């Protein structure tokens, strides 16, 4: 299991923290990927705070409103204070999730304003914008630089607005059908990002014309297929720069780029830094 998280406080407690003094407080935020073992969470009395789980790959099994349901990728699951929390991730379903716990006297109002308050499960599709906001919050909570709580709250409010916008703009009658049509392509992108894919290859997998495939893919993810695949590669590059000793040329090769200079230009365009500068600044 890969488990990355950031926390507001050094001391942690399973029941979380409530806050009736501040309008909004983010207690903690994290990412989990389940590779070799199943994972089960059982909180009979819930927590003192709210939680939003964003499933970005695979699916999870949740017990919600006395029903056992499978929640596929592209959905968020919302728990309120005191809600019983029973859920399991089976590693064979290749689940990847982001989660966040938050509190404050304005928390419920924010959920209401973003049209999320009355739903335990909301389909929003896959969004790299939302994933990036989760990553930003995690990093801010880890580093705790000056004024980090303001940055965390701002990013979280943007995350809620993105969730609410995507939830209200999604045609739920076709949302899951889109998931089926585009699913194979997204899986190929995540597992075989180093191969030389073309738009024609992806369109054929979906039995769609190139034009219709691009339209459907962008409608589902908010990005073009090339933008989405490039984002996957750059995210993987970030991981390798931080967690491996591979040099830039070797990382470029791992990602499927023939030219390390071209890879560096792509990386700089998305991050604002060269790969070397990104590694140096993150030490």
**Mean pLDDT in residue range 220-245:** 87
Specify whether domain 174-281 bears CATH 2.60.40.730: no
- Lowest pLDDT segment from 19-23, 53-57, 215-219: 215-219
CA dihedral of 30, 238, 90, 101, whole degrees rounded to 10: 10
103 DSSP β-pair partners: 25
Segments of 34-154 assigned E as strands: 39-43, 50-57, 59-64, 67-72, 75-79, 85-89, 96-103, 121-123
Structure tokens at 15: 């029941």
Q: What is the pLDDT of residues 139-164, one digit of tens each?
A: 999 999 999 999 999 999 999 999 99
Q: Tens digit of pLDDT for each residue in 91-129?
A: 998 899 999 999 999 999 999 999 999 889 999 888 888
| Domain-wise residue ranges, the chain | 2-169, 174-281
Lowest mean pLDDT: which of 76-90, 138-152, 266-280? Answer: 266-280
Per residue in 168-213, pLDDT tens? 876 554 444 445 678 778 888 888 899 988 899 999 888 889 998 9
Q: Are the C-beta atoms of residues 59 and 53 closer than 8 Å to each other?
A: no
Homologous superfamily of 2-169:
Regulatory protein AraC (2.60.120.280)
Domains 2-169 and 174-281 belong to one CATH topology: no
């Amino acid at each position: 299991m890969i488990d990355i998280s950031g926390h507001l406080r050094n001391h942690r407690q399973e029941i979380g923290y409530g806050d009736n003094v501040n309008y909004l407080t983010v207690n903690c935020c994290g990412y989990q990927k389940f590779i070799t073992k199943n994972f089960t969470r059982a909180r009979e009395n819930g927590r003192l705070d709210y939680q939003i789980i964003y499933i970005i790959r695979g699916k999870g099994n949740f017990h919600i409103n006395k029903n056992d349901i499978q929640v596929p990728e592209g959905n968020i699951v919302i728990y309120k204070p005191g809600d019983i929390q029973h859920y399991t991730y089976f590693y064979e379903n290749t689940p990847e999730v982001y989660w966040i716990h938050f509190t404050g006297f304005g928390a419920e109002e924010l959920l209401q304003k973003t049209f999320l308050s009355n739903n335990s499960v909301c389909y929003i599709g896959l969004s790299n914008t939302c994933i990036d906001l989760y990553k930003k919050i995690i990093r801010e909570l880890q580093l705790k630089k000056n004024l980090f709580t303001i940055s965390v709250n701002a990013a979280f409010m943007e995350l809620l607005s993105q969730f609410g916008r995507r939830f209200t703009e999604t045609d739920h009658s076709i949302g899951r059908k889109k998931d089926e049509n585009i699913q194979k392509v997204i899986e190929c992108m995540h597992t075989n990002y180093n191969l030389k894919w073309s738009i024609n290859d992806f369109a054929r997998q979906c039995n769609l014309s190139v034009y219709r495939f691009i339209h459907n893919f962008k409608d589902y993810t908010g990005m073009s297929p090339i933008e989405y695949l490039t984002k996957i590669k750059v995210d993987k590059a970030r991981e390798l720069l931080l967690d491996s000793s591979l040099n830039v040329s070797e990382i470029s090769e791992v990602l499927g780029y023939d030219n390390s200079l071209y890879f560096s230009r792509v990386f700089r365009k998305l991050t604002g830094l060269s790969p070397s500068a990104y590694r140096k600044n993150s030490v």
